[in-house]
Amino acid sequence: MPTTPATAANSSSNGTADAIMLELVDENGTTIGTAEKLAAHQAPGQLHRAFSVFLFDEQGRLLLQRRALGKYHSPGVWSNTCCGHPYPGEAPFTAAARRTYEELGISPSLLAEAGTVRYNHPDPASGLVEQEFNHLFVGMAQAELQPDPEEVGETVFVAADELAKRHAEAPFSAWFMTVLDAARPAIRELTGPSAGW
């Protein structure tokens, strides 16, 4: 993994990973503290900062990823291109670009802010809770994907009319439709009316 000021601050001097800390926020998205990642997701959940990325190809198809089976939260389900949490003090835009590269091996050729959404989604399978103030980003994926198998089990580009069928047939993350619906105005602006988003 590339070393950045944020990743360096979250690694110990001997190269082993410390506990991953998240930024806790109030209902307005103002930082109020930090919490360890797993603790922040244990019921009833602590409201924390997150991000969601939606990347599209030149045909206006959305890049979906199936989360790796080894992930402790929502393993093996389909979700948006990339999602995660900024480190404390890390800008959401920087975190979104960083995690897209770490998970998928690409840097978006365009990445734009698409608003925020606040939600509370329990995951019945794990008992974990997503209490998130989520920063949304849309952009373009124009490079060859090189997914990290520890993070990503599978990827696929889907057109708007294919998504409903796929969503009905396969498990998706609890937060997927919430973040997609919140990002739709920016997605339509990016992809144009003919893409059908």
Strand extents, DSSP E, 93-178: 110-122, 129-140, 152-158
Select which of 23, 90, 103, 132 is catalytic.
Answer: 132
Catalytic residue (one of 83, 90, 103, 130): 83
Contact 136, 186 (CB under 8 A): yes
61, 50, 23: which is closest to 182 by C-alpha?
A: 50
Helix (H, G, I), strand (E, B) or coil at 14: coil
Contact 170, 163 (CB under 8 A): no
Q: How many residues does the chain have?
A: 197
Q: Is 82 noted as a catalytic residue in this protein?
A: no
Distance, CA of 168 to CA of 163 (rounded, Å): 9
- 150 in helix, strand or coil? coil
Mapped onto helix, strand or coil, the DSSP state of residue 113 is strand
Eight-class DSSP state of 176 = H
Q: How many Å apart are CA 86 and CA 70, to the nearest integer?
A: 21
Q: Annotated catalytic, 144? A: no
CB distance 123 to 105 below 8 Å: no
Q: Give the residue numbers marked as catalytic.
A: 83, 132
